[in-house]
Amino acid sequence: MNKTDKKYIEIAKNILENGYDEEKLNHEVRAVWEDGESAYTKFLPQEIVRYEKGEVPLISLRKIAWKSAIKEILWIYQDRSNDVNLLKEKYKVNYWDSWKNDEGNLGTAYGYQINKKFKSPETGNMTNQIERLIDQIKNNPLNRRLIMNLIDVDDMADMTLIPCAFLTMWTVSGDYLNLTLIQRSGDFLAAAAPGGINAFQYYVLLRMIAQVTGYKAGDFVHFIQNYHIYKKHIPIVKKIMEVKVDEKSRPRLEINPDIKDFKDFTIDDFKLLDYYPDKTKYDIDIAL
C-alpha cells in the first residue's frame, strides 16, 4: 500500500467516524439524487492533504479514471473551454453532461475564466490567467501573486456549477515549483479523495507547468473546505477501505520531456507506469 492509499483510508475513517451528518442538522441541502431525493452527506470542514515531492497522488485501492482526469485539465487550461460537447467529442469524456446549459456549456465557469482577457498587473499587456502564470514563473519567479482563480463573483450567477476545485497558488523555491489547490467542496468517492481525480489532475498540472517553466515539481498541498461522503456512497467507501492493494502498484507518471510549450501537450504525452489498481467496478450515483 503506498502513502496515498493510507491517506485515503485515514481520511475516510475520519469522515465516517467524526463527520457531521447533514440529515441530523435540520437544514435543507442543495444536492439531490436523480429521483429528486435530498443527497445528504457526512462531512468534515477544513482538511489538508499534503503530498511531498515524488509522491504521485493516485490510489490503487480502486481504479481511477486517470486519463479522463488529465483530459479535463487540458480542456480547462489548454483549450480554455467551457464547452461540454468539445470535452465529449475531442476527449471522449462524458461525465460533465448533466451540468451543461441549453448552449451545451458550463456558462461562465471553469475554462471560461481561464480564457477571459484581462490586463496583466505586471506587464500591463492583455493576457489570460494561464499565460500570465507561465510568463511570471519564467520571468519573475519570486512573484507572490501567482494564482489562477476559476471563481469570479461577478460571473457566479451564470455558472452552471460553481467550480469546486477553484483556486491554485504557485510558489517557486529554488529548483522547485510548489502548488496549493483550494477546493471549496469535495465529493470524496467521485472526485476529491486523496489520490482521486481532483488531486491527481492538479498534480499533473503542476508537473506540466514545472516542465515548461524549467522547474522540478515540488510539494503539492490540497485543501478541502467541505470534505464529504454522500450517505448513499458509504457502503462503497467501506468496501474500498477493505481492498488488499497489489504491492507492486507504485504508480509513476512519465511526461514527454520534449514538450516545452504548454499548448503542445496532448494526452499521448502522458504515460502511467507500474499502476496495478484494484479492478472492482462500483456503481456510483452522482449527486446533482
Ligand X SMILES: O=c1ccn([C@H]2C[C@H](O)[C@@H](COP(=O)(O)O)O2)c(=O)[nH]1
Quickly count: other Cβ atoms within 10 Å of residue 186's Cβ.
26
Taking CB atoms within 8 Å and a gap of at least 24, the contacts of 264-273 are 265/74, 265/78, 265/208, 266/74, 267/67, 267/70, 267/71, 267/74, 267/91, 270/67, 270/70, 270/204, 272/58, 272/66
Task: For residue 126, state whether it binds ligand MHF (rule: CB under 6 A).
Answer: no
Residue 162 interacting entry, from ligand MHF, ligand X, none, C-beta within 5 to 8 Å by type: ligand X
For ligand X, the closer CB: 110 or 170? 110
Q: Is 164 a catalytic residue?
A: yes
Nearer to ligand X, 109 or 172 (CB): 109
287 binds ligand MHF (CB under 6 A): yes
Size of the site for ligand MHF (CB under 6 A): 14
CB of 96 to ligand MHF, least distance (A): 6
Question: What H or E segment, with its residue span, contains residue 51?
Answer: strand 41-51
3-state secondary structure of 83: strand
- Of the residues 164, 177, 179, 206, only one is catalytic, namely 164
Query: With contact defined as beta carbons under 8 Å apart, do 197 and 205 qualify?
Result: no
Taking CB under 6 A as the rule, does residue 161 contact ligand MHF?
A: yes
Handedness of CA 85, 87, 92, 95 (dihedral sign): negative
First-residue to last-residue Cα distance in the chain: 33
- Tell me which of 33, 91, 95, 176 binds ligand MHF, using CB under 6 A: 95
Residues that bind ligand MHF (CB under 6 A): 65, 68, 95-96, 99, 161, 187, 190-191, 197, 282, 284, 286-287
Feature table: binding site: 144-145, 184-187, 198, 228-230, 287
List active site positions: 164
